[in-house]
Each structure stands twice: as C-alpha cells, then as structure tokens.
Structure 1
Amino acid sequence: MQITTFFMFEGKAEEAMNFYISIFDKSEITSISRYGANEAGAEGSVKHAIFTLNGQEFMCIDSFVNHGFTFTPSISLYVTCDTEEEIDRAFEKLSRDGSILMPLAPYPFSKKFGWVADRFGVTWQLSLIS
C-alpha cells in the first residue's frame, strides 16, 4: 500500500509544481501528461502529474471543472527543516504572494516555526528540528 498526497488545481498545476521543486532540494517533476485537443481539459494543461519534494512523491491535476472550493488550512504539509537557512529560505519563498498564518518565530513546541498559505492556497507548517 502507498498513500500519496494529491493536489487539484484549476489551471495552475504546472506552475505550482515548478514553484515547489524550486524550493526543496532533491525535487523534480517525474511524469506529466497533458490534455490534448478536443479533450475535457484545456489543451496543454495538466491531465495528471507526479512530482517529488525532497524525494517524497505527490500527484496533481488541473481540474477542468470550476469548483466552489480550494485548499484549506485544516490540512497542511508539515516540513521539518534541518538548518535555519533551510527554514528561512522555505518560509520566505512560500509566504511570498501568500499569507502568513503564524509568523516564523520560537514557540513552546519548536525552536523556530512558521505556518504559511502559499500563493496557490496550499498551507505549509515549517519547523526547525535542531
């Protein structure tokens, strides 16, 4: 059994994947299929893609249906960072054009922690482990 996180975007899947792989080391788009002419989705948009962030696999699509919902902070990606440089860089990039839910700071449960919603609406909790 394998459990993989799946993201549904509306026309922003490839942009989001490229954004995420630019932030985390050992990350890449491993496969991508696109809608062709006369298919349900917009031609060239992502029908299905697989990408990795620091070696962990994720899937995504561009939905051709306009939904009345998007991502919510009630579920987020939790990232443990090994260095201050790593957490500072990820927090800065993920929060740019997004929103800060908890500022990057020391908290009773973490030496340094921050929670952001990125420009696509995906939420990330970042914690320094050392």
Structure 2
Amino acid sequence: MQKITPFLWFDDQAEQAAAFYTSVFERSKIVDVMHYPDAGEGGKGRVMSVTFELDGQTFIALNGGPNPQFAFSPAMSLFIHCRSQEEVDALWQRLGEGGERLQCGWLRDKFGVTWQVVPTVLGGMLRDEDHERAARVMRAMMRMCKLDIAQLQRAYEGEGG
C-alpha cells in the first residue's frame, strides 16, 4: 500500500470519473467500490467512494455531495510525465474531452480535475545551465496550450522562442 493517496471529492460523479480515468491510462483498474450505509449521504446503496489505480498509482474518489467550498482548482493538479509527443497528444485529447484546455500543458477535464500533460524532456531543457537557452524554452512553452516537443526543441536550439 502506498503511503500517500490522492483523495478526490466529487459531487456525485466518482464512479463515472474513475471509469473514465481508468479508460484513459494504461495499467489502470477499479480496485474497490464502497456504498453508503442506510444513514449515508443520499441513501442506502449509493456509491460512496471508488478506489482506482492509474498506471499503478492509487486514487480514491468520493461522492461527497455538492459543496462549493470543496471544488477542484488548478492550485492542485495531477502532473503526467509523457515520454513522447504521441503520448502528449493522446492524453491531451482524451482528458480534454468536454473540459477546458489551458495554457502551458494544463487542462481541466469534464469533472473539473486539473491535469498537467508534460513531456519529460521539458524538465531538462528548463534546467539547462545555459540560462538563455532555458529562457527561450520557457517563452515558447508560455505561448502554448498543448505542449509541442518539436517547437520546444527548436526554441532550445535557438531556432525560435
């Protein structure tokens, strides 16, 4: 069992969200579905929580009922390390369906959860000892919604940015 598990509060879409997320990521599955007892929120038999795994990472989704104080926000996001442009493209497309595409590789999915879809090569580019090179990459990234490895590479090499 992992020591720290992200716990996501949904109004009443925990089961739908878990099913969607496990369909997007490889090596993912629903682990457990717990129902409210008689005295629970919304009545006996209603789904209370769903435990699921995304690529081996455990999450818990709760049907906690509507509460505007507990809405998702970009202040807490899920960061996805992508090995290729194909992976960036596929995850950007699937997670963005019905949601909102934001700047710098961020998007809000149809359930309100914020994700960062980021190619792994970006970190090395931004940590480059040549500060001007890193700054060019940062400027290029700031102009993008979905991150494009080829454009970032051109900025890194001084061909743009």
TM-score range normalised by the length of the shorter chain = 0.7 to 0.9
Q: Which runs of 5+ in 1 are unaligned?
A: 103-112
Match in the other structure for 1:121: 112
TM-score (norm 1): 0.83
- Output the CA distance in 2 between the equivalents of 1:35 and 1:44: 6
In the alignment, structure 1 residue 84 sits paired with structure 2 residue 85: yes
- Residue 95 of structure 1, CA deviation: 1.1
Q: Is residue 34–residue 47 contact of structure 2 (8 Å, CA) maintained in 1?
A: yes
Provide, for residues 59-96 of structure 1, a one-character-per-residue CA deviation record: whole Å limited to 9, x for no partner: 111014x3123100011000001122211111011111
Identity %: 35
Q: Is residue 29–residue 53 contact of structure 2 (8 Å, CA) maintained in 1?
A: yes
TM-score (norm 2): 0.68
- Output the CA distance in 2 between the equivalents of 1:85 and 1:45: 38
Q: Against the structure 1 CA distance between its residues 129 and 67, is the aligned structure 2 distance closer, same or farther, given a 3 Å change threshold?
A: same
- Output the CA distance in 2 between the equivalents of 1:54 and 1:88: 18
In the alignment, structure 1 residue 53 sits paired with structure 2 residue 44: no
Provide the secondary structure at the position in 2 that maps to 1:3. coil
Q: Is residue 14–residue 49 contact of structure 2 (8 Å, CA) maintained in 1?
A: no
- Residue 114 of structure 1, CA deviation: 1.4
Q: Which runs of 4+ in 1 moved over 3 A?
A: none
Aligned-pair RMSD on alpha carbons?
1.6
Q: Say which structure is richer in helix.
A: 2
Q: Is residue 11–residue 45 contact of structure 1 (8 Å, CA) maintained in 2?
A: no
Q: Which runs of 5+ in 2 are unaligned?
A: 122-161
Q: Against the structure 1 CA distance between its residues 45 and 88, is the aligned structure 2 distance closer, same or farther, given a 3 Å change threshold?
A: farther
Q: Against the structure 1 CA distance between its residues 45 and 84, is the aligned structure 2 distance closer, same or farther, given a 3 Å change threshold?
A: farther
